[in-house]
Amino acid sequence: MRHPSLTTLAVALSVAAASPAIAHGPDAHTGGIASAAARAVQAPFDIVHTKITTEGNTAIFHMAVSGAAGAARPAKSGKLAGSTVFSYVWPTSLDPATIGFEPKAGILAFAVTAHPDFDDTPLFDENGDGELGNDGDVWHSHWVVLQPDPACGQDALKVVDIAEGAKPRLPKTWPGLPILIDSPGWAPRIAGHSVEVRVPFDDVAAIGSAGFDGVTAALRVNASVHNPLLCVVDVFKVASGDLSLPGRVDR
């Protein structure tokens, strides 16, 4: 499978597709987006199924890969600048206001990430050692808002920066970083081939039949640790193959 360029990624994410959920390959899963395995992609990031369903007031974000999910993490560099983030991402057509950001601030995506060089979940102790600031290498969840920025590469995406002095609307569990990111503490369940996160909503009907896709990718902290702070630098695989956001919640 040929991966879309970052230009394609940025352009395709800017609109949600109107088409219904689709399945790819002979072993299609029920609902969501099924994708054929690709030898060219590292197995822990080789997406074969992506789905978002609801159960009561909870949305269940599910992604399956051809290998052992979560088995690959970035190597520790020993410094923040230039460090790498690995991620499983569900880009959506939801308005960022749905979870507490400014309306129409960019592309709202849910992500499960790991990054050994910094911690961006200051309210939670993921590794259970009594310290809140040393567990970025444990897989954890975020909401992020994305926009294209040429400083990340031609039409490439970044997590949206917060300008100095600006006071945008932010979720209550914003971790204090100068970017549009939320650290809600919803723990991913990673087992076998799958990554799954149960995300409660006050009003789960708000996500309706939102469009979504699945992406595995690497992000990098800018060497100057400045605007842009966090760029998408490598796309491992896109569930739909073209970032058309064909998935629909509960379909």
List pLDDT tens digits, range 3-46: 455 545 554 554 433 333 333 333 335 789 999 999 999 999 99
Handedness of CA 127, 131, 132, 133 (dihedral sign): negative
CB 125, CB 138: distance < 8 Å: no
C-alpha–C-alpha distance, residues 77 and 162, integer Å? 26
End-to-end Cα separation, the chain, in angstroms: 25
If one counts the domains in the chain, the total is: 1
For 167, phi and psi rounded to 5 degrees? -130, 70
- For the chain, how are helix, strand and coil distributed in percent, rounded to 5? 10, 35, 60
CB count within 10 Å of CB 29 equals 17
User: What is the extent of the structural domain holding 221?
Assistant: 6-73+83-248
In a domain, 204, yes or no: yes
In a domain, 78, yes or no: no
Reported pTM: 0.89
**What is the rounded average pLDDT for all residues in the chain?**
89
In a domain, 1, yes or no: no
Report which residue type is found at 91: P
In a domain, 143, yes or no: yes
Lowest mean per-residue pLDDT among 143-147, 149-153, 180-184, 186-190: 149-153
pLDDT on residue 6: 52
C-alpha–C-alpha distance, residues 223 and 84, integer Å? 11
C-alpha–C-alpha distance, residues 24 and 196, integer Å? 21
In a domain, 186, yes or no: yes
C-alpha–C-alpha distance, residues 137 and 221, integer Å? 15
In a domain, 235, yes or no: yes
In a domain, 65, yes or no: yes
**Each residue of 199-224: b (16+ CB within 10 Å) or e?**
beeeebeebeebbbbbbbbbbbbbee
